[in-house]
Structure 1
Amino acid sequence: MRVLMFGWEFPPHISGGLGTACYGLTKGLSKVEDLDIVFVVPKAYGDEDQSKMQLVGANGVTINQVQTHVEKFKSKHTYLEVDSQLVPYNDPDEYYTFSSRDVYGKNKFFKVDKEGKLEFSGKYGANLIEEIYKYAYVASTISMDHDHDVIHAHDWLCYPAGIAAKEVSGKPLVIHVHATDFDRSGGSVNPKVFEIEKMGMDAADKIIAVSNLTRNIVIEKYGQDPDKVVTVYNAVEPVSFEEKQAIKKGVKEKVVTFLGRITMQKGPEYFVEAAYQVLKRTSNVRFVMAGSGDMLEKMVTRAAQLGIADKFHFTGFLKGDDVFNMLKMSDVYVMPSVSEPFGISPLEAMQSNVPTIISKQSGVSEILTHAIKVDYWDIDAMADAIYGIIRYDSLSNEFKEKGKEEVDSLKWANAALNVYDVYNSTIESFVEQTNQN
């Protein structure tokens, strides 16, 4: 079986959970003997690990018969102009608006160089929507150049690419919903993002959701057939014990960490309020908010208003080794997300022997037993959980030991086998329908 997979980023050039999840899944799928993956990204840098799959950068693809192809593509797609930056997985998150216009309203949109290639930044900047549709345009060419049995598109950024590839090759499309705009916006859904998401879901032959929470949103909010949507939980990459012991914290107090985008979806204000409640009971603790986003300034101001600024630290955006170094220095990890499709960071924390508190409004809460679960809005319960862990060593040690054991069993290889089953069932159903028609 050959899979044509569309993602938006690939290590070491990642800026969030999407790239981490895609990499873990592809590594897991590489262990399946009769499966080969062609992984496509908008921009390839040349230093990516290609030992497990073939990596193709849309920026390196020569477009043949440009004019003929453009006219055909133009008849099926519209261009969405970004009025302000949209940064779904990077920092900082910004509010965004869209307006529709013709896909060829700007000549630069399909400007090719002398080698017949399109330019891509591979970022999440002001030209994101342009790049999404350029990516879809090149995807149709890539689908002709690479034999495949099934197409797999990760998240809304790649849905147009998956659709374009399906239109050309006639192969079945599986889309992977890592998040929806209902999660990112707290219900104030951007109609144009919703349009792209629903377009991808309607075109897909099968939809993979990262949790039952997300699956229910896909069914209820996007009108998808329940039989079409399957849940496959994320996992975590193994980290050695030696790596986790490499760094020690430089303070005597306990350290409680929030690590993620400082935006409404992640519930940072509840973390600050819970910190205030804990500090009224003990001074032997420091709180860290690691990340950046549109609510950062508001959180700094609130910490000052509460008089806890001397016990509250803001590190800015962290990635790669800095994430694990922060976890190694933590005594408690808190994820108070208002709406979290899954949430890989609690797995990374538990893997690093850090007792973890998560919101009940997260997908990962569906599979974890040895993490404390609270409603994101219940500041008192959150504060009680934090205080209990930093105050009682026996409780902390219990969560460290049991949490580590639990997370070590959540392997990407197992998630990959579930995705492989989705591929097989999708191809079989697709063939049956084709034969009936």
Structure 2
Amino acid sequence: MEKNRSENTELKRRILYLDMAYTLKMVKERELEQEFASRDCGGYFEHVWGVHPIADIPEKRQLKYEGFKVSQVEFSANQTIIEGSSAYYSFFKYIFPLNFLVSQIRFVAFLIRLVKREHINIIMCTDPYFTGLIGLFIKLFTKARLAIWVCANYDDVYSETGVIAMPKLFKWRWVEKIVERIVFRKSDLVVGGNQNNLEYALKNGAKTGKSTVFPVGKLIHRQHMIDPGLREKDDLFSQSKARYHFIYVGRLVDLKFPDDVLRAFTVINRGEPDCALIMAGDGPMLEQLEKMSDEMGVRDKVHFLGNINQVRLANLLAGCFAVLSPLTGRSLIEATLAGLPIVAYDRDWQHEFVTRYGAGIVVPFRDWQKMGEAAIRLIQNPEETKKIAEASRRTGIDACDNEKLFGHERREFDKLLNR
């Protein structure tokens, strides 16, 4: 069991971090340890409890129905990882919705006791829906402050794709809207991953005086900080005959529009046949994209790599010519750290990020024709492209200045704790 740290806690800063992006297993497999390590805000928090309430779902684990048991693992000297399950009880084995409800109530009760016992000051949740509701319930029964870190504009996602954030849990968007408004209004601090995400939160109940931006640059793996000229050359570039390699990094899901990348690449291929496309990421659209590349006649020029580790990704980025970004998150920062020119849709945070220092070209949302044409212009104007690449590298370095990022976070947490 977790060792009780409740002695002499009056001046200690402690945080419960509810996040469903990755399980501990996924973090280790993908070398994303910085995702967890950054939670302590550069040593600001004496201890962190990182919580994934339903870790069985992303890992597709078979449920054991052995009663209430949670996994507690020491990730580091100052962070404990707690992972729960979607259902615990054999009595409700064949009634999953009821099992889920009872199991999550039991899990929340466990977290409430943990927060009280360990004198945890802050609850950080990374969505305004499931983890946000859990955080709100914990807040109601403890003295902890509730913070919500929003790293997506869920309104934009829904308007463009018709896909809601958590369809299995809430089923309808109008239900999600009710939940997010309650959570945002009751939160003590609402944080956007960028200005666009913050504006979405402010439109949906967050309070201007209790909001800020925590950029995601602190999450970047240190491998990407190595000068691109000093990184190892990936074997793919020795095997490929192409002169210009373009890359897309991200999940292969509808809301990321990877199919537009293939369409843009066909435009590039017509203008400059000496090219190839790397698709780094996995997802349910893989077979569809492979079929599309066949039908478009470019299958032999497209490399579908699936999920790759951070070391290989950093090396691949360093060898590419430019990145094609319909809608990406931290991978856009990783691309700039490799000094890659960016061709991006005008969506979410991308316009703000790309134009800050001139790191690339922004084209209208979903206009894959212009995305392809912009990429060709980069090939045709090498001197200008060199300047863009230099600006891209500066953009990435600035985005990953942890001293600046953590300094801002600490000031905001100080204000939160002193309210």
Instruction: Please state which band the TM-score falls in when normalised by the shorter chain.
Output: 0.7 to 0.9
Q: Does structure 1 residue 204 correspond to structure 2 residue 210?
A: no
* Cα distance, 1:396 vs structure 2: 3.4
Task: Select which of 379, 392, 401 maps to 2:368.
Answer: 379
Q: Distance in 2 between matches of 1:258 and 1:109?
A: 41
- Distance in structure 2 (CA, Å) of the matches to 1:214 and 1:134: 32
| Matches for 1:338-417 after TM superposition, within 5 Å | 343-367=329-353, 368-369=356-357, 370-410=359-399, 411-417=401-407
Residue pairs, 1:16-31, within 5 angstroms: 22-23=35-36, 25-26=38-39, 29-31=41-43
Which 5+ residue runs of structure 2 have no aligned equivalent?
1-11, 56-70, 86-94, 165-171
Quick one: structure 1 residues 6 and 187, their matched pair in 2 at CA, closer, same or farther if it must change by over 3 Å? same
CA contact (8 A) 2:280 2:307 kept: yes
Does the 8 A contact of 1:181 with 1:193 survive in 2?
A: no
- The higher-RCO structure (CA 8 Å, 6+ apart) is 1
Secondary structure in 1 matching 2:379? helix
Structure 1 CA distance for aligned equivalents of residues 101 and 315 of structure 2:
42
* Residue identity in the other structure for 2:337: Q
For residue 162 of structure 1, the aligned residue among 131, 135, 143 is 135
Correspondence for 1:306 among 269, 277, 296: 296
Question: Are the counterparts in 2 of residues 332 and 354 from structure 1 also a CA contact under 8 Å?
Answer: yes
Deviation at 1:327, TM superposition (A): 1.8
> Does the CA contact (< 8 Å) of 1:177 and 1:209 recur in 2?
yes
* One-letter code aligned to 2:383: S
Q: How far, CA to CA, are the matches of 2:34 and 2:192 in structure 1?
A: 13
Does structure 1 residue 213 correspond to structure 2 residue 196? yes
Deviation at 1:202, TM superposition (A): 3.0
1:6 counterpart = 2:31: no
Q: How much has 1:274 moved relative to structure 2?
A: 1.1
Mapped to 2, the partners of 1:416 and 1:286 lie a distance apart of 39
Q: How does 1:74-153 map to 2 (within 5 A)?
A: 105-106=98-99, 109-110=102-103, 135-153=107-125
Q: State the partner residue of 1:95.
A: none
Give me the identity figure in percent.
15
The alpha-carbon deviation at position 425 of structure 1 amounts to 2.3
Give the aligned partner of residue 54 of structure 1. 79
1:172 aligns with 2:145: yes
Secondary structure of the residue that 1:148 maps to in structure 2?
coil
Q: Which residue of 2 aligns with 1:223?
A: 205
Supply the distance in 1 between the matched residues of 2:74 and 2:305 (Cα, whole angstroms): 28
One-letter code aligned to 2:367: D
Cα separation, 1, equivalents of 2:277 and 2:152: 28
Q: Structure 1: state its 5+ residue gaps.
A: 61-80, 83-100, 111-129, 430-437
Q: Distance in 1 between matches of 2:253 and 2:100?
A: 35
For the residue of structure 1 that corresponds to 2:241, the secondary structure is coil
Equivalent in the alignment of 1:330:
320
- What's the offset of the Cα at 1:288? 1.9
More helix by share: 2
CA gap of 1:45–1:359, structure 2 versus 1, over 3 A, is: farther
- Distance in 2 between residues matched to 1:218 and 1:196, nearest whole Å: 12
RMSD between aligned alpha carbons?
3.2
Alpha-carbon offset, residue 335 of structure 1: 0.9
Compute the TM-score of the two structures, normalised by the length of structure 1: 0.71
Query: Is the 8 Å Cα contact of residues 192 and 214 (structure 2) preserved in structure 1?
Result: yes
Partners of 1:139 and 1:164 within 8 A in 2: no
Per-residue CA distance 1:84-113 (angstroms, 9 max, x = gap): xxxxxxxxxxxxxxxxx6xxx238954xxx
2:216 counterpart SS class: coil
User: Cα offset for 1:211?
Assistant: 1.6
Of stretches 188-197 and 149-158 in structure 1, the one that deviates more from structure 2 is 188-197
Alignment partners' CA distance in 2, 1:178 and 1:150: 19
Cα shift at 1:154: 2.3
Question: What does residue 214 of structure 2 align with?
Answer: 232
Q: Deviation of residue 257 (structure 1)?
A: 0.7
Distance 1:204 1:403, change over 3 A: same
Cα distance in 2 for residues equivalent to 1:170 and 1:256: 51
Q: Which amino acid aligns with 2:389?
A: K
Flag the 1:20–1:395 CA change in 2: closer, same or farther, 3 A. Answer: farther
Mapped pair 1:265 → 2:255 = yes
CA 134–393 in structure 1, closer or farther in 2 if over 3 Å, else same: farther
- What is the deviation of 1:56? 4.1
- TM-superposition CA deviations, 1:309-366 (whole Å, max 9, x none): 22222222334334324323322111112xx6xx211110111232222222131432
Listed one character per residue, the Cα deviations across residues 249-276 of structure 1 (whole Å, up to 9, x for unaligned) are 2223111111111222212222111111
Size of the aligned set, in residue pairs, is: 356
- AA paired with 2:342? T
- Compute the displacement of 1:207 (Å): 0.4
Instruction: Assess if the C-alpha contact under 8 Å between 2:191 and 2:214 holds in 1.
Output: yes
Amino acid in structure 2 at the alignment position of 1:166: K
